[in-house]
Amino acid sequence: MMMDISILGKEPILNKMAVLTITPLAPLSMVAEMPGSYYKSLKMPNKKMLCGLIENILGWHFNLETRKIISNDMKQCRKKMKLTFESHVEGSTYIPLLMDFFQIIDTPKLCFDAVCFYDDIWARNHSRKDSAIMHAPKCRNVSNELYNKLYLDKVDKKEHAYKDYEERVKSLSPNFYPVLPTKREYIDYQNGSYIYKLTMDKRLFEMIRDKLIRYNIGYLGNSEGWVNLNISDND
């Protein structure tokens, strides 16, 4: 299936007023930064999260390397247009692509009957390439092939044998991640929605509107934070 991202090669023109309504279908955990032992949630999604949500709805599930390539192409296009380009990558490794094609205006509205805050333990995948030998045994799910290579092939305590084992673990490390229990804050909003007034590129508005007719489940914060969207005219 061909993915239409041609809008990214054009000049962003904020010529459309719109209202974006986001209705949570599950508890949300919207973490803006990458903290250490505690992942605290924002009370409402920021612009970068809205950008991720829109890209998710459009089906733009690009990996980091692909996003780097697209971002570099956008930079070159903007340079030819004599426009300033900003990558907006602060806070995480996520590279947003549509940040310049919409803007939040006014203060977003929170219209909910009730709200509940709670902490839960999140099973976070954790990788440290510099210490693969230490975290390999902590993986709770590995394939039989990987298990045999890591655990059934016995090695001596001699230094050369240990180094051989460590090299094997490092070579296999892209195939597994240990799970690190991490405390994460969740917000359970009941019977209501976030309401955002936006000014945006009319082409993007039409892309979102047309997509929502066929597909209307996105997520905020993490893959468990399901939401329903509605976008409407505000001209």
Spell out a b/e string for 188-220, using b for 16 or more CB atoms within 10 Å of the CB, else e.
ebeeebbbbbbebbebbbebbeebbeeeeebbb
**Residue pair 231/208 in contact by the 8 Å Cβ criterion:** yes
Q: Is the pTM of this model over 0.85?
A: no
| pLDDT per residue of the chain (235 residues) written in tens, 0 to 9 | 578 899 999 999 999 999 999 999 999 999 887 667 788 999 999 999 999 999 999 999 999 899 999 999 999 999 999 998 887 877 667 899 999 999 999 899 999 999 999 999 877 666 555 455 555 555 555 555 655 555 545 444 444 444 555 566 566 555 555 667 788 999 999 899 999 999 999 999 999 999 999 888 889 988 889 999 999 998 6
Dig out the tokens for 21 from the structure.
């309504």
End-to-end CA distance of the chain: 34
**Residue pair 14/201 in contact by the 8 Å Cβ criterion:** yes
The SS3 call for residue 72 is: helix
∠ CA 57-61-66, nearest 5°, is 140
**Residue pair 183/117 in contact by the 8 Å Cβ criterion:** no
pLDDT of the residue at 104: 96
Report the distance separating Cα 220 and Cα 47, nearest Å.
12
193: which DSSP letter?
A: E
pLDDT of the residue at 159: 45
Report the distance separating Cα 191 and Cα 179, nearest Å.
34
pLDDT of the residue at 148: 58
